[in-house]
């Protein structure tokens, strides 16, 4: 079983929560009634004020189940952000991928010290940093030195590139070859550098170990056991199923482009999952609560190293971020063309916060999202 038989006491029951919140939130947004705005609504409004088109956040803890929204599901539409809206979670996908890898380690089918070359012979040949020198652990920890391939994807880097290639399908092998057009960032294990290519390779290794695709394994081991009804690993399908807000980006030009349709195959294993705030809170709570990994594997996942480029510490598919009220939380940011998300969960899995926006936002949007997660986790902490 992928979901552990033992269940952590107090795991939030989220199945009916969405219906409760929907019934309680069908009136005007709190932005229109500032006197009634609670702390979460105020923080969502603050994110919207930085320039985001739409914002949605959800908090789950033993003491608080709440959600808030601001803005619209599309400029000029007047439609509010959907309460059960689906969106591309971007790099929060990496936590799903790392969880599957660690389950395979727990099953004895793979070791974190296995080399890439063992599972993918000849795939990584990077100016001397070949796969025989890079371990699975280094892939998950971003210490492999393999360059990121996303700068080589036209659809992600310009409006013209998006229009011409938004429906293009990439194979994982193509993505790795694109990354290897550039020299390694450093020798394996010598430094830290965020690279989506690491998780493309992890997805390829999952396929080699199991004989099933990365998407199939995520579905089998995480999505279905946890009942994540709004979550999918869409392979090359370019549309977001179900209720969703539109995604927008300006590609640095100042003119926003609707980028909702996108073949996500360039982000297999690294950023392609579609989910909801409800499902993300459920997944991260289950993960940190010990329902997906045994204690030893979860301990390895949450053992972190400095990640100077992000200003946090990083484990295996999880960031560790300090809390302003003391201690720290685990989570991940995410971004994939038109959608940004930030997820945070307490170390025991009891409290979780997810927030996403549907555009590039402004200069302060990312920091405002991080502030919301920090303040909500502090607000729901025991004794506060």
Distance between CA atoms of residues 266 and 26, nearest Å = 37
In the residue annotation, 91 being an active-site residue is answered as yes
Collapsing DSSP states into helix, strand and coil, what is residue 135?
Answer: strand
> Is the sign of the CA dihedral 279, 322, 47, 341 positive or negative?
negative
Q: Is 254 left (phi over 0), alpha (psi -120 to 50) or beta?
A: left
DSSP letter (8 states) at residue 345? E
Other C-beta atoms lying within 10 Å of the C-beta of residue 327: 12
CA distances from 154 to 22, 178, 207, 270 (A): 39, 12, 26, 17
In this structure, are residues 187 and 129 in contact, taking their beta carbons and an 8 Å threshold?
Answer: yes
Distance between CA atoms of residues 261 and 162, nearest Å = 10
Q: Where are the beta strands (DSSP E) in the chain?
A: 54-60, 65-71, 87-88, 248-249, 257-258, 274-275, 305-307, 312-314, 319-322, 328-335, 340-345, 352-357
Distance between CA atoms of residues 188 and 52, nearest Å = 38
Residue labelled with tokens 């030893």:
296
Catalytic one among 91, 232, 328, 354?
Answer: 91
Distance separating the N- and C-terminal Cα atoms of the chain: 37
Other C-beta atoms lying within 10 Å of the C-beta of residue 363: 9
Q: Is 45 left (phi over 0), alpha (psi -120 to 50) or beta?
A: alpha
* Residues annotated catalytic, as ranges: 91
């Amino acid at each position: 079983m992928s979901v552990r038989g033992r269940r952590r006491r107090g795991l939030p029951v989220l199945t009916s929560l969405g219906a409760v919140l929907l019934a309680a939130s069908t009136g005007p947004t709190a932005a229109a009634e500032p006197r009634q705005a609670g702390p979460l609504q105020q923080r969502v409004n603050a994110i919207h004020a930085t320039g985001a088109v739409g914002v949605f956040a959800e908090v789950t803890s033993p003491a608080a189940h709440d959600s808030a929204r601001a803005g619209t599901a599309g400029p000029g539409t007047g439609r509010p952000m959907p309460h059960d809206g689906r969106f591309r979670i971007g790099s929060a996908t990496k936590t799903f991928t790392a969880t599957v890898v660690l389950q395979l380690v727990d099953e004895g089918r793979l070791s974190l010290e296995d080399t890439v070359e063992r599972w993918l012979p000849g795939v990584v040949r990077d100016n001397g940093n070949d796969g025989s020198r890079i371990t699975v652990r280094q892939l998950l920890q971003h210490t492999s030195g393999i360059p990121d391939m996303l700068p080589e994807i036209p659809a992600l880097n310009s409006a013209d590139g998006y229009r011409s290639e938004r429906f293009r399908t990439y194979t994982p092998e193509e993505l790795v070859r694109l990354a290897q057009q550039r020299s390694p960032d450093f020798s394996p294990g010598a430094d830290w550098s965020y690279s989506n290519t690491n998780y493309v390779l992890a997805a390829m290794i999952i396929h080699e170990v199991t004989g099933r695709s990365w998407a199939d394994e995520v579905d089998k081991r995480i999505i279905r056991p946890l009942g994540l009804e709004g979550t999918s690993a869409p392979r090359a399908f370019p549309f977001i199923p179900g209720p969703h807000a539109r995604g927008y980006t300006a590609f640095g030009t100042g003119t926003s482009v609707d980028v909702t349709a996108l073949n996500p195959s360039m982000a297999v294993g690294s950023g392609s999952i579609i989910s909801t705030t409800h499902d993300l809170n459920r997944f991260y709570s289950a993960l940190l609560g010990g329902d997906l990994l045994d204690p030893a594997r979860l301990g390895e996942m949450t053992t972190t190293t400095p990640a100077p480029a992000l200003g946090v510490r990083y484990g295996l598919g999880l960031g560790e971020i300090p809390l302003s009220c003391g201690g720290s939380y685990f989570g991940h940011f995410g971004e994939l063309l038109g959608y940004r998300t930030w997820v945070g969960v307490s170390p025991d899995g009891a409290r979780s916060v997810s927030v996403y926006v549907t555009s590039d936002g402004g200069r302060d949007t990312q920091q405002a999202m991080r502030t919301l997660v920090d303040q909500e986790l502090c607000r729901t902490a025991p004794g506060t």
